[in-house]
Structure 1
Amino acid sequence: MPATPKTPGASPAPATKIITDLTAPRSAVGTASYRCGNGGVITIQNLGRSLRVVGPDGVAEEFAASPANQSSRYQEAATHDAIVIDGREALVMKRGSTPQTCRR
C-alpha cells in the first residue's frame, strides 16, 4: 500500500503542556512567577522535593520540603527562611523581615 503524502497546512502535533501549578503532585516540575506585596517579583521552580527560588535581586535559594513528605511547606536549611505554597499564593518568610504574600 503506498504511503499517503502529507498535505500542506496539516495541523501540527499538539504542544506539550507545561505544568506551573506548584500544588500539583511532586512529579510535576514547573516554574511560576509571583508578584509580591513590595512590588518585587520572585520566580519559583518546583523541583519535586524542593523549590528553587530566584528573588528580585537575582539570587537563587533552594528550599527543601519541610517535613520531607509534603508539598506545600519548604525551608532553606542555612537561614531557616521558609515558603508556604497555597494555591496561587506563596507566603515568603525571611529572617528579620515581615512575611510577604506573593501571588501568581
Structure 2
Amino acid sequence: MTLFTLAACVSQGKPGQNGTPAAAGAADSQTAAILLEKDTPQPRTATYNCADGGRMTVENIGNAIRVVGSDGLNEEMPAAPAGQNSRFGINHDAIVIDGREALVMKANATPVACRR
C-alpha cells in the first residue's frame, strides 16, 4: 500500500517544467528512493558487509533471526520487543535492521555498522 502511495507522490514531469525548479525534482527523486529503501521488506536471507571487515548472513525466521558471522558466530536472536521486525536481541547483544543497513551491538564492544 505504501509503495502505491509513494509512486503517486513522485513528480511525473521533468525537473524545471511547470514551474518546478530542477533542484526540487532531484530532491523528490532522492526522497522517494530513501523512502522506498526503508519500506522495502527484509529478504528471507541477506548478507551484510560490516565496517570492521567482517561479514554476516541474517536469515529471517519469523519472530526471530538467525545470524551466521564470519567470526564463527551462529546465534538465533528473538525480536525485542516481541511482535516487531527490525530489532532483535539476546542477553547483551542486539541487531537493529533499517532498510539495507544493520547496526550490530555486542556487550563491551563498539557498535558496528553493516550494509547489504
- TM-score relative to the length of structure 1: 0.69
Q: 2:41 aligns with which of 24, 34, 44?
A: 24
The answer for the alignment partner of 2:52 in structure 1 is: 38
Partner SS, residue 51 of structure 1: strand
Match of 1:15 in 2: none
Question: Could you say which residue in structure 2 is the equivalent of 1:19?
Answer: none
The CA deviation string for residues 7-61 of structure 1, in whole angstroms up to 9 with x for no partner, is xxxxxxxxxxxxxxxx628xxx611100000111010000010000011123211
The structure with the greater share of residues assigned to helix is: 2
What is residue 57 of structure 1 aligned with on the other side? Answer: 71
| TM-score (normalised: structure 2) | 0.62
Q: In the alignment, which residue of structure 2 is the partner of 1:67?
A: 81
Distance across 2 between alignment mates of 1:59 and 1:39: 15
Matched residue count: 77
**4+ residue stretches of structure 1 with deviation over 2 A?**
none
Long gaps (5+) in structure 2:
1-39
User: Identity across aligned pairs (percent)?
Assistant: 57
Distance 1:59 1:99 in 2: 16
CA offsets per residue over residues 50-90 of structure 1, 9 Å max, x none? 000011123211110011011110001xx320000000000
Q: Distance in 2 between matches of 1:24 and 1:32?
A: 11
Structure 1 distance, partners of 2:115, 2:45, is: 13
Where does the alignment leave 5 or more consecutive residues of structure 1 unmatched? 1-22
Larger of the two Rg values belongs to structure: 1
